[in-house]
Chain A
């Protein structure tokens, strides 16, 4: 076990000693800082309310209604926006909840979209971790150690997942810090008002963050495993990056194209979004259930892993 940890240490060392990895993190940091900057300058950020929040909300509603009367026919979207605001304010008033201002927790939640960037970076790392050893020629020196190929492959795969975890933690942590500095913190147990399909809902921000990021992780792990498999089988990182990113982007389109066919529900991308089974959502294709999707995902996952394993452990390492 100790040796396996050392293998994982080696792989992580090779990932983090390279400048390209730090460029990835710099890009993420810039996106997070830039996002906070844009939100604070152009966004409609609630500053919060004081003890007279009820009166303030009512005043706001009157003001919004007055604004609406001033808008013309062609400015309907503004009218709708204001009506939504009024609805939110009324929810607070009806349920007697004091609204909290925009803050770090909400910013973290909004950055759930960055998960696709994390997926992208993980795909790049997964695509390179085997293919690069072949490209550098170091695979030969790596494999002539008294360690089974299975262990080497596994240490590399675990390192890919660790990279995804670290990067995700970085996004969460850095978003919170940047959010806290820019907008302040809403408190220890923050709640937000969520506009779901079934109407407005007052939920815990923490829980919502876990849910949003959690659903995104499924796709991340599947695509990273796919890139890892392509990288192992074809020993070509560009091919692995290309196909994985293409499929990640085009996944829903592919499902859409074949949605009429009976086998469409067996397509990987019809199943990667598990949020379709959450209350208030409808599955993409009728008759699909959560357990069905989990089964399909498992089968794909096992195929990806088995292919990588068979090819990596059985292949002769011949000339380049």
Chain B
């Protein structure tokens, strides 16, 4: 899926100011940004609910503006909340959508229902479903026709931790085994970090960054990282770091020290500490969370 210079103007206000990015098959793409940044508007344009003011969205090479039917055939989506017909059962809801696309068998519907774990309540009225159940039904509905691209707006909204984990596992499976491109929008950063391969950050209708989540695994060894160390006694360790390495370490919750240092220097520091009979219980290094990066890029959360 490819977005080419997508713009949306409502009235005189430019809401989306030229988005261009590509999403590949088999990857999970996270789409994040503060409220009002244009996430949902972009998603609505990607599925043809809103017209593009300029630019184009191409799905497997088919344009959403000129070849709508063929393009949208490859898309499964939940836009905002997974709203269903409350007076129909889960099964009837799925049958309803299945009739709109040729080639969906009852077998396929059962398969999808099993996949999202709704076998038991599928014959109950959707109006009685909890938000989590509706979310699952929404995902089932989006998967019926084996789309090449799955677009989920806040997919884990309303799911319990076990459900979130399940969905995450399932997204991964879809991407890897069925080669589906999954696009997830969210503002829960930690969650995006766990699920996605790449992240696009949008702010005020502009794409501020596209970044691979797993880049850090191959990060430069010499890069400065935040090191957290649980040691005993703390004051002796602080003094040693100051004297031998000129590191000012901050004490955290009584038994830990935190400081910024190159990864390659850690073994040397550890040796020095153990020589002085300082016990080390654990050492951790982090690149800084996505949250830190997010706020670096976004700055303050201002809606223009």
Q: Which of A3, A138, A148 contacts B102 (CB 8 A)?
A: A3
Q: Does A202 contact B (CB under 8 A)?
A: no
Assembly CA distance A237 to B203 (angstroms):
37
State whether B44 touches A17 (Cβ < 8 A).
no
Interface centre among A136, A141, A145, A319 (most CB of B within 10 A): A141
Q: Does A187 contact B (CB under 8 A)?
A: no
Q: Which of B74-82, B207-215, B218-226 makes up part of the contact surface?
A: B74-82
Give the A-B contact count at a CB cut-off of 8 A.
Answer: 78
When distances are taken between beta carbons in the complex, the residues of chain A under 8 Å from B47 are 144
Q: Does A47 contact B (CB under 8 A)?
A: no
When distances are taken between beta carbons in the complex, the residues of chain B under 8 Å from A17 are 87-88, 92
Q: What count of chain A residues pass the 8 Å CB interface test?
A: 27
Q: Does B235 contact A (CB under 8 A)?
A: no
Bits for A143-154, please: 1 = Cβ < 8 Å to B, else 0: 111111000000
Bits for B89-123, please: 1 = Cβ < 8 Å to A, else 0: 00010001101111000000000000000000000
Bits for A281-320, please: 1 = Cβ < 8 Å to B, else 0: 0000000000000000000000000000000001011110
State whether B99 touches A10 (Cβ < 8 A).
yes
Interface centre among B97, B100, B101, B141 (most CB of A within 10 A): B100
Bits for B24-60, please: 1 = Cβ < 8 Å to A, else 0: 0000000000000000110010011111000000000
Q: How far is the CB of A165 from chain B (nearest CB, A)?
A: 22
State whether B100 touches A140 (Cβ < 8 A).
no
Q: Does A7 contact B (CB under 8 A)?
A: yes
Q: How far is the CB of B39 from chain A (nearest CB, A)?
A: 12
Known A17-B87, A316-B44: A145·B49 in contact at CB below 8 Å = no
Within 8 A of A (CB), among B149-176: none
When distances are taken between beta carbons in the complex, the residues of chain A under 8 Å from B97 are 141, 145
State whether A317 touches B85 (Cβ < 8 A).
no
Q: Which of A10, A14, A314 contacts B100 (CB 8 A)?
A: A10
State whether B69 touches A147 (Cβ < 8 A).
yes
Q: How far is the CB of B68 from chain A (nearest CB, A)?
A: 7
Which chain B residue shows the least CB distance to A136?
B83
When distances are taken between beta carbons in the complex, the residues of chain A under 8 Å from B77 are 144
Q: Does B201 contact A (CB under 8 A)?
A: no
Q: Does B233 contact A (CB under 8 A)?
A: no
When distances are taken between beta carbons in the complex, the residues of chain A under 8 Å from B69 are 146-148
State whether A137 touches B83 (Cβ < 8 A).
yes
State whether A317 touches B44 (Cβ < 8 A).
yes
Which chain B residue shows the least CB distance to A7?
B100
Assembly CA distance A314 to B44 (angstroms):
14
Assembly CA distance A155 to B41 (angstroms):
28
When distances are taken between beta carbons in the complex, the residues of chain B under 8 Å from A146 are 68-70, 72-73, 100-101
Assembly CA distance A140 to B51 (angstroms):
14
State whether A143 touches B48 (Cβ < 8 A).
yes
Q: Does B61 contact A (CB under 8 A)?
A: no
Q: How far is the CB of B261 from chain A (nearest CB, A)?
A: 48
Assembly CA distance A137 to B84 (angstroms):
8
Q: Does B86 contact A (CB under 8 A)?
A: yes
Q: How far is the CB of A312 from chain B (nearest CB, A)?
A: 13
Q: How far is the CB of A12 from chain B (nearest CB, A)?
A: 11
Within 8 A of B (CB), among A179-231: none
Q: How far is the CB of A6 from chain B (nearest CB, A)?
A: 4
State whether A9 touches B85 (Cβ < 8 A).
no
Assembly CA distance A314 to B68 (angstroms):
14
Q: Which of B49, B78, B83, B101 contacts A317 (CB 8 A)?
A: B49
State whether B49 touches A140 (Cβ < 8 A).
yes
Known A10-B99, A17-B92: A144·B85 in contact at CB below 8 Å = no
Assembly CA distance A17 to B68 (angstroms):
31
Q: Does A49 contact B (CB under 8 A)?
A: no
When distances are taken between beta carbons in the complex, the residues of chain B under 8 Å from A138 are 83-85
Q: Does A18 contact B (CB under 8 A)?
A: yes
Can you name 30 A-B pairs with beta carbons within 8 Å?
A: A3-B100, A6-B99, A6-B100, A7-B99, A7-B100, A10-B96, A10-B99, A13-B92, A13-B96, A17-B88, A17-B92, A18-B87, A19-B87, A136-B83, A137-B81, A137-B83, A140-B49, A140-B83, A141-B78, A141-B83, A144-B72, A144-B75, A144-B79, A146-B69, A147-B69, A147-B100, A316-B44, A316-B51, A317-B49, A318-B41
Which B residues are closer than 8 A to A by beta carbons? Answer: 40-41, 44, 47-51, 68-70, 72-73, 75, 77-81, 83-88, 92, 96-97, 99-102, 141
For the complex of A and B, list the 6 residue pairs with the smallest distance between their C-beta atoms, beginning with the closest: A137-B83, A316-B50, A146-B73, A317-B49, A145-B100, A146-B69
Q: A146-B68, A317-B49 are in contact. List 14 more A-B contacts (CB 8 A).
A: A3-B100, A6-B99, A10-B100, A13-B92, A14-B96, A136-B83, A136-B86, A140-B79, A141-B97, A144-B48, A144-B49, A145-B97, A145-B101, A317-B44
